[in-house]
Structure 1
Amino acid sequence: MKFKIAFTLLGVFFAFNVASAQDCTVTLSLFNESAKVNNFSDAYPKYKQLLENCSDFNKLIYQRGAQMLEGMIDDAETDERKMELIQEYIDNQMMRLEKFPNETKEGDMLADVAMIKYKYEVGTLEDRLRSFEKVVEADKDNFSSPVAIYAYFRIANDLNDAGERDIQFLFDKYDEVIELIENQENDKAAEAKPLIEKQEAQQELTPRESRILKNSEIYLRNYTKIKGSVNSLLGSKADCDNLIPLYKKDFEEKKDDVNWLRNANERLSAKDCTEDPLFFKVSEALHKKDPSANSAYSLGQLAEAEGNRGKALNYFNEAAELETNKIKKSRIYYRIANNYKDRGSYSQARNYYRKALNNKPSMGVAYLKIADMYAKSANDCGTNVFEKRAVYWLAADYASRAGRVDPSLSSNATATAESYKARAPQKSDIFQEDAAGRKITFSSCWIGESVVVPNL
């Protein structure tokens, strides 16, 4: 008898759960359809019903809920109602993170919260700044929205303009924001790199790969725009004319302060304020007290300016070994590569350009430099005229790649690639050689790579 009662109760419980799930499914479907067409008066009560009875049923509740609430905020007739809806939006994003943590990136949700406060000027500038700082502290790897990153720096700039934060604070925020952008650029460029190479090898991408490549290139273009906007905001505040007096007046008092020396050295070096004697004083003092990548790099800049390339390369290599930040390391390798390229040591230069790209896949200018060296070496490669001219296809591939990983170079990269293609064998040449699809390897010169003859 007890068994039959227990079995009956189990059946009732199971039937109740099935019915509840069906109710949630129906309500969510009705809510979704109304919210999609901005029928907020019908969607909002269903949204509230879902939060009360089906809060952990489906992530779509919160995805569509966020879109609905944003629309309702814009349509709100009073400031009081607008603020209520803003709080509901914030609660929606936080509840999504709580209910679906494995399907939700914390950085995305915190950035959404910070952006809604920024857009509608909720709280003071300091309050809004703190909202963005929370994103960086909690999940900076997923702080990926170009617009949100720009808003973060815009607030910092506004605080500086209002006299509430000093110029060093703004410089620190600039460095932080540029690092956020470049880290995201690197991720997207690394995602795109194998797919670009696959295309260059005339292999067809799958639909999924095509979507990934398209999205990566869209993000890279957006990051380029945002970086330009951030640099425009900083503007003349970081010019040498402002930096040198700023640090010169404090040098005697701060020359034993390693943190101050490090900040001054990094800022002066980044803006190439290397001709003033202050730069040497700061760099030398820092290297004596705390040998680091920054101080070694600065001394390399000074040696280079004096024409002592050997000494400069020693310092730059020391800097690269000491540097742990990949983006900064890439810049050092790029500078070393340029030194070797200028001396005609192309193989060594390419080695360092590749090291730079390994650390910063979005460094398109390194691809342009390699392309230039390949083009200049065409006459030294190949066993006949056709193969020598085929080097230009390889150079064109590298030039095209530059624009795809760094959209700021797109125009220059495209023009450069076209000029190389014009020097490569044309359709009639390929026909005469019966070479379409043939793989040509340049093993007789330093290049040592291969190219597939296109079917023009």
Structure 2
Amino acid sequence: MKTRLTLILAALMVSVNLSFAQQDEECMNNLQIFSEFAKKKNYNDAYQPWMAVRTKCPKFNRAIYQYGERILDDKIQNSNGAEKVAFINDLLLLWDQSLEYYPQYYKKGKVYGDKAQLMYDYKKELKLDNETVYKAFDKAYTEDKDNFDNPKGLYTYFSVMVDLFDEKKRAVQEMFDKYDDLNDKVETEVIKYSGLLNPLVEKEEAGKTLTDKEPSYKKSYESYLNAYDQISSGMERKLGDRANCEVLIPLYERDFEQYKTDDVWLKRSVNRMYAKECTDDPLYIKLVKAYDAAAPSSDTKVFVADLLMKDGKESEAFKYLEQAYSLETDPIKKANRAVKIGITLKNKGRYAQARTYLENSLRLNPSNGRPHLLIASMYASSANSCGDTNFNKRAVFWLAAQEAEKAGRLDPTLRGLSEQSKTSYEAKAPSKSEIFQEGNSGETINISCWIGRSIKVPNV
């Protein structure tokens, strides 16, 4: 009896193993078939074998989810009506399954963000309201903010918040808070990608050759920085007049007593008032003083300096600006601080000091080309006063053009403006005929005054 039972169990084990082996073989065959079709972008023929593997062996291979997204996206693009809705819902399900079966490869922030974006893109087809879509984005942000970093998703998240405000389903302070939250997130991402890009920029500027993979990395980092720059300006446009002085001043007046020691609230209030040019109102002064008292920092010193400038106390103001720069420790933030100080000095006509801060910024964050454009504009503004002859004065525009060209070479977000500025400056420089008449082709001109640089006359 015991021997018979053992034989029966052995037979069952063989049967089970054979069943799994057959299943594995079937799934492997279908995996190979749909993979080959998908690689050739023949998603229609890939669909059936892909569905067979996904249904029978959902944990069989990560390719089910990598190619599955493309297959379903193709189905969505090439279908209509109820069939289209079914494919959209199936893609939402696929993303959930990717997290369930391969959590080591898929992050909640990215998956939830992609789901929310798809829900927004097909809001009409899915019959969804803004509240439902917003909650989907909010899930990505609150559950895994670090990995919710898609620029388009971040912008859409804020855009839906503004739509809810317009529908009177969100308070104005909630909208401002979300704007500030996402601005902070964007700043974090810009710092991250600038830190990755800068060594590659410095390597190229030093005349060294990038490795085989580094050009693609560089292009990717530049693309992300360009996207984050666009969504920052896009969020500001979306906010628009919903954050004008008529809205901000009564709001912050109402809440001041409650939050007058809350450094986060004060920082955001001061930043918003400053950005919307509400700085002439007495409330702004009250906010700045409270912010500096609650949490003295690099930021607060800049705002105090701004107040001193308004009172005509420039010398005292510049001391605060120097403190603001020295207090900042993060290289990218310090570079940004140097730019703001440089702009303040530039606006006051202190070009030499402004250039020092702008050049410091370039050393800290060489992939940000904006300082080059600012330096170029100061050179151009000084052309009439830097030079002993008309020719030498106009030669300053060559220097300005060179500086403007650097901006576009280093910073892809500024290529259009860089080329436009360069062309404008070159048009104001001496022409080929004037160089010929002057007889100084190829010579070096030393530019005097605060500029203290030299420029080579183009060969003609």
Q: TM-score range by the shorter chain?
A: 0.7 to 0.9
Q: Where does residue 27 of structure 1 map in the other structure? A: 31
Give 1:221 shift: 4.6
Q: Where does residue 11 of structure 2 map in the other structure? A: none
> Which digits, 9 at most, give the CA deviation of each residue in 1:67-104, with x for residues without a partner?
112233453653873564143332354258525x3xx6
Distance 1:35 1:402 in 2: 40
Distance 2:197 2:387 in 1: 30
One-letter code of the match for 1:163? Answer: K
Write out aligned runs for 1:159-174 (5 A): 159-174=164-179
Distance 2:60 2:388 in 1: 68
One-letter code of the match for 1:118? Answer: Y
Give 1:166 shift: 1.5
TM-score (norm 1): 0.73
One-letter code of the match for 1:33? Answer: F
Q: Where does residue 5 of structure 1 map in the other structure? A: none
Write out aligned runs for 1:40-439 (5 A): 40=44, 42-51=45-54, 52-53=56-57, 55=59, 57=61, 59-73=62-76, 75=79, 77-78=81-82, 81-82=86-87, 84-94=89-99, 97-98=102-103, 101=105, 107-121=109-123, 125-136=130-141, 140=145, 143-185=148-190, 211-212=216-217, 214-216=219-221, 218-252=223-257, 254-255=259-260, 260-323=265-328, 329-342=334-347, 345-357=350-362, 363-375=368-380, 392-403=397-408, 409-422=414-427
Give 3-state SS (helix, strand or coil) of 2:103's partner: helix
The number of equivalent residue pairs is 432
> Which digits, 9 at most, give the CA deviation of each residue in 1:129-177, with x for residues without a partner?
3443454456655544332121111122123223332112211211232
Distance 1:217 1:455 in 2: 34
Change in CA separation of 1:373 and 1:187 when aligned onto 2, cut-off 3 Å: farther
Q: Where does residue 4 of structure 1 map in the other structure? A: none
Distance 2:233 2:218 in 1: 23
Distance 1:286 1:387 in 2: 49
The answer to whether the 8 Å contact 2:72/2:87 transfers is: no
> Which digits, 9 at most, give the CA deviation of each residue in 1:372-430, with x for residues without a partner?
33456679999999999876555324313434666665544322212333456777869
RMSD (Å), alpha carbons? 4.8
Give 1:43 shift: 2.2
Change in CA separation of 1:424 and 1:98 when aligned onto 2, cut-off 3 Å: same
One-letter code of the match for 1:66? Answer: E
TM-score (norm 2): 0.73
Change in CA separation of 1:330 and 1:371 when aligned onto 2, cut-off 3 Å: same
Moved more, 440-449 or 401-410: 440-449
The answer to whether the 8 Å contact 1:73/1:86 transfers is: no
Give 3-state SS (helix, strand or coil) of 2:317's partner: helix
Give 1:276 shift: 0.5
Change in CA separation of 1:278 and 1:105 when aligned onto 2, cut-off 3 Å: same
Change in CA separation of 1:233 and 1:321 when aligned onto 2, cut-off 3 Å: same
Q: Where does residue 6 of structure 1 map in the other structure? A: none
Change in CA separation of 1:168 and 1:213 when aligned onto 2, cut-off 3 Å: same
Q: What is the identity percentage for the equivalent residue pairs of Structure 1 and Structure 2?
A: 35
Give 3-state SS (helix, strand or coil) of 2:92's partner: helix
One-letter code of the match for 1:164? Answer: K
Give 1:274 shift: 0.9
Distance 1:209 1:380 in 2: 44
Structure 2 unaligned residues grouped into runs of 5+: 1-16
Give 1:447 shift: 6.3
Distance 2:232 2:348 in 1: 32
> Which digits, 9 at most, give the CA deviation of each residue in 1:20-57, with x for residues without a partner?
699737733444415855553x4233223444448454
Change in CA separation of 1:288 and 1:179 when aligned onto 2, cut-off 3 Å: closer
Distance 2:424 2:356 in 1: 25
Change in CA separation of 1:260 and 1:355 when aligned onto 2, cut-off 3 Å: same
Give 1:246 shift: 1.3
Moved more, 345-354 or 182-191: 182-191
The answer to whether the 8 Å contact 2:92/2:115 transfers is: no
The answer to whether the 8 Å contact 1:182/1:327 transfers is: no
Give 1:271 shift: 2.4
Distance 1:238 1:301 in 2: 21
The answer to whether the 8 Å contact 1:35/1:68 transfers is: no
Structure 1 unaligned residues grouped into runs of 5+: 1-12
The answer to whether the 8 Å contact 2:298/2:327 transfers is: yes
Change in CA separation of 1:161 and 1:396 when aligned onto 2, cut-off 3 Å: same
Moved more, 158-167 or 177-186: 177-186
Distance 2:133 2:223 in 1: 28
Pick the structure with greater CA Rg. Answer: 2
Distance 1:232 1:274 in 2: 20
One-letter code of the match for 2:122? Answer: Y
Give 1:352 shift: 1.5
Moved more, 113-122 or 71-80: 71-80
Change in CA separation of 1:375 and 1:161 when aligned onto 2, cut-off 3 Å: closer
Give 1:225 shift: 3.8
One-letter code of the match for 1:70? Answer: D
The answer to whether the 8 Å contact 2:447/2:455 transfers is: no
Higher relative contact order (Cα pairs below 8 Å, separated by 6+ residues): 1
Give 1:193 shift: 5.9
The answer to whether the 8 Å contact 1:333/1:352 transfers is: yes
Q: Where does residue 10 of structure 2 map in the other structure? A: none
Distance 2:197 2:429 in 1: 26
